[in-house]
């Protein structure tokens, strides 16, 4: 029969021990007999053999908090090694006998040959492999004795495996930071609350271990920076170092796979695993569930407590809640926030005191009071186009109050709610009407605000600067071939009111017309155009007159219409 591997078991001092302590039958010629070797201890494992000893079992270590020794298993591991004669491999009845002779070279050494029919199993009767046998394991062997301590193995059962661990679950721990020198470990703390869960003998609630007594003397916490938020109650909290291994499962709040690198300070965790030391400070996690992943925008909740600190820098304050937490509340009074208050108004000073209710929320289109942030530009002559940048403007119905006149420029649209555009007026009349003095504004600074359905904005200053003198700036006009389409512009500058263009003397070439500009807002000061198709060749001289309010200027121009050459047929 071909031998695939060899399992050697050393039994030290067993024969003498059993002879003195048990009534056994001596087997005269053990060769070829079936034996059962109970509770022998493995000394060495190699690909060729496993050596195990016949000796008094050492006391079972029950002090390791990571291991769980079942009450059913403890007596098995504490039994004295023994040999028995059996009728067959599957026989349940055994007869105690003296153990057969061991190896002549090494007293009490037995070697078990593993052949194809050898069955390896574990304590729970599941199939085992040679890799699951190691030094110190307790085994029970059944086999045929050959000679000189060699046994041909029929079955080998490892009653020490699988190792049972004392699993514990700690809920709602908060990450303080990474452990010094170990990127796969975190220092966590747990506020007082529900107990931990133990799974040693069924699921039950137990008191959580104290853990790390002080971070100041704990090497793994040497790089932890304790914030004021947790400093006040950290000394009374349970603290642990949680280590992750290559087999640790990291999950998010939805129990979906997450990355260990996503765990950060402030995250809330549930951890499941075992404590590795008697002090129960070091916890090896088999499962980590990060309740802070994936990040979700927190929903508004009500918190009550006492204000214990006002922060002058950013206006925030610290609130101590009933459960001892210190919450930092950001300053809610920000520009463009909508505020509703209840209190006593002093009409003389416009001061509200005795506030009993304050509600702060983000602005909406329904309640956003208009606010002016910037004027672009903030100054210019009459007729300058100005854009108001800000917020709270409605899509329609915005009016500009200018120089103390309400609704001086009415019904302005704002497609985005953040900008308005208007032209610097020459004068202002209530409601935008013209039934008032046409005396233009003198140069200087004027107040401006915006009114719409949501209210009236803050008041800002805008400056009217001097206008350049009214004048026509176009030097000359281009010539044209008769019967060709013609289009040109005459430009001007200055003037406090809309432009009025006219031909005061002479005439345009036949077929051409002077087109008055059309504007959507006053004052209208855009160039005039001459367009058409001239029909008669020649040189035509005429005078163009421009008037703006009381100012008037004129300029002479000529247009040459060139005779067209024969175009043929």
Helix (H, G, I), strand (E, B) or coil at 542: strand
Q: pLDDT tens for residues 461-481? A: 999 998 888 999 999 999 999
pLDDT band at 437 (very low <50, low <70, confident <90, very high): low
Residue by residue, what is the 3-state secondary structure of 381-438? CCCCEEEEEEECCCCCCEEEEECCEEEEEEEECCCCCCEEEEECCCCCCHHHCCCCCC
For the record, the structure tokens of 439 come out as: 């005396």
* Whole-number pLDDT of residue 49: 74
Judge contact between 471 and 459, C-beta under 8 A: no
Residue-level pLDDT at 15: 39
Residue 68: pLDDT above 60? no
Instruction: Taking residues 61-81, report their average pLDDT.
Output: 61
Weakest-pLDDT range from 183-187, 263-267, 381-385, 441-445: 381-385
**Most confident stretch, 58-67, 261-270, 316-325:** 261-270
Q: Name residue, tokens 């040693």.
A: 200
Instruction: Give 368's pLDDT tier (boundaries 50, 70, 90).
Output: confident
Q: What is the CA radius of gyration of the chain?
A: 49
* Distance from C-alpha of 263 to C-alpha of 290, rounded to nearest angstrom: 7
SS3 content of the chain, % helix, strand, coil (to 5): 5, 45, 45
Does residue 14 have a pLDDT over 50? no
Between residues 142 and 326, the one the model is more confident about? 142
More confident residue, 158 or 496: 158
Q: How far apart are CA 197 and CA 206, in angstroms?
A: 6
When pLDDT is averaged across residues 496-518 and rounded to a whole number, the result is 92
Per-residue pLDDT reduced to its tens digit, 530-562:
999 999 999 999 999 999 888 899 999 999 999
Output the average pLDDT for the chain.
83
Residue 468, pLDDT score:
85
**189, 255, 187, 196: which is closest to 224 by C-alpha?**
187
Per-residue pLDDT for 311 more than 60? yes
Q: What pLDDT does 13 receive?
A: 36
Give the number of residues written for the chain.
569
Contact status, residue 101 vs residue 14, Cβ threshold 8 Å: no
Helix or strand (DSSP H, E) at 545: strand 538-548
Q: What pLDDT was estimated at residue 64?
A: 61
Mean pLDDT across 487-512: 93
Parallel/antiparallel/unpaired status of strands 460-464 and 379-380: parallel
Closest CA to 98 of 10, 12, 11, 22: 22
| pLDDT for position 387 | 95
Report for 32-46, 164-178, 244-258: range of highest mean pLDDT: 244-258
* Pick from 108-117, 254-263, 445-454: least confident: 108-117
* Structural domains of the chain ordered from first start: 5-158 (no CATH), 168-290 (no CATH), 332-362 (no CATH), 371-464 (2.60.40.10), 471-562 (2.60.40.10)
Q: Quote the pLDDT of residue 4.
A: 45
**pLDDT tens, position by position, 192-221:** 666 789 887 778 888 889 899 988 888 888
- pLDDT the model gives residue 431: 59
Does residue 523 have a cis bond before it (omega within 30 degrees)? yes
- Predicted model pTM: 0.43
Q: Read off the tokens for 54.
A: 């016949």
């Amino acid at each position: 029969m071909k031998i695939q591997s060899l399992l050697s078991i050393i039994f030290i001092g067993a024969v003498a021990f059993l002879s003195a302590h048990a009534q056994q039958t001596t087997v005269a010629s053990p060769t070829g007999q079936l034996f059962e070797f109970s509770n022998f201890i493995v000394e060495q494992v190699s690909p060729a053999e496993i050596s195990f000893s016949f000796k008094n079992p050492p006391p079972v270590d029950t002090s390791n908090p990571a291991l769980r020794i079942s009450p059913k298993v403890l007596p098995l591991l504490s039994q004295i090694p023994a040999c028995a004669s059996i009728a067959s491999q599957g026989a349940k009845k055994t007869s105690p006998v003296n153990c057969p002779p061991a190896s002549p070279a090494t007293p009490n050494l037995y070697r078990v040959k593993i052949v194809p029919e050898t069955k390896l199993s574990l304590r729970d009767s599941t199939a085992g492999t040679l890799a699951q046998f190691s030094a110190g394991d307790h085994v029970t062997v059944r086999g045929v004795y050959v000679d000189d301590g060699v046994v041909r193995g029929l079955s080998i059962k490892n009653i020490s495996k699988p190792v049972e661990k004392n699993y514990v679950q700690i809920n709602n721990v908060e990450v303080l930071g990474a452990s010094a020198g170990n990127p796969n470990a975190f220092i966590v703390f747990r506020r007082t609350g529900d107990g931990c869960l133990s799974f040693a003998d069924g699921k039950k609630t137990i008191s959580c271990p104290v853990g790390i007594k002080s971070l100041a003397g704990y090497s793994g916490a040497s790089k932890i920076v304790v914030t004021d938020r947790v400093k006040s109650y950290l000394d009374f909290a349970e603290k642990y170092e949680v280590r992750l291994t290559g087999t640790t499962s990291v999950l998010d709040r939805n129990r979906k796979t997450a990355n260990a690198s996503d765990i950060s300070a402030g995250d809330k965790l549930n951890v499941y695993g075992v404590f590795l030391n008697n002090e129960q400070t070091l916890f090896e996690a088999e499962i980590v569930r990060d309740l802070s992943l994936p990040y979700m925008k927190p929903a508004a909740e009500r918190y009550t407590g006492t204000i214990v600190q006002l922060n002058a820098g950013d206006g925030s304050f610290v609130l101590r809640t009933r459960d001892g937490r210190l919450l930092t509340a950001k300053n809610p009074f920000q520009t463009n926030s909508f505020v509703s208050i209840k209190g006593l108004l002093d009409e003389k000073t416009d001061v509200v005191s005795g506030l009993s209710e304050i509600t702060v929320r983000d602005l909406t289109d329904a309640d956003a009071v208009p606010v002016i942030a910037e004027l672009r530009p903030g100054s210019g002559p009459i007729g300058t186009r100005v854009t108001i940048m800000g917020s709270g403007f409605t899509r329609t119905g915005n009016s500009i109050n200018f120089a103390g006149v309400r609704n001086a420029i009415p019904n302005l649209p704002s497609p985005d709610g953040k900008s308005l555009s208007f032209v610097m007026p020459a004068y202002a009349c209530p409601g935008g009407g013209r039934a008032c003095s046409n005396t233009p504004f003198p140069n200087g600074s004027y107040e401006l605000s915006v009114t719409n359905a949501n209210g009236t904005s803050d008041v800002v200053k805008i400056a009217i600067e001097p206008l350049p003198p009214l004048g026509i700036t176009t030097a000359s006009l281009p010539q044209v071939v008769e019967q060709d389409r013609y289009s040109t512009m005459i430009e001007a500058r200055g003037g406090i009111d809309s432009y009025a263009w006219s031909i005061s003397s002479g005439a345009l070439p036949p077929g051409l017309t002077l087109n008055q500009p059309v504007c959507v807002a006053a004052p209208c000061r855009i160039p005039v155009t001459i367009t058409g198709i001239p029909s008669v060749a020649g040189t035509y001289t005429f005078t163009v007159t421009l008037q703006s309010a009381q100012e008037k200027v004129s300029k002479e121009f000529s247009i040459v219409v060139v005779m067209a050459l024969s175009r043929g047929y």
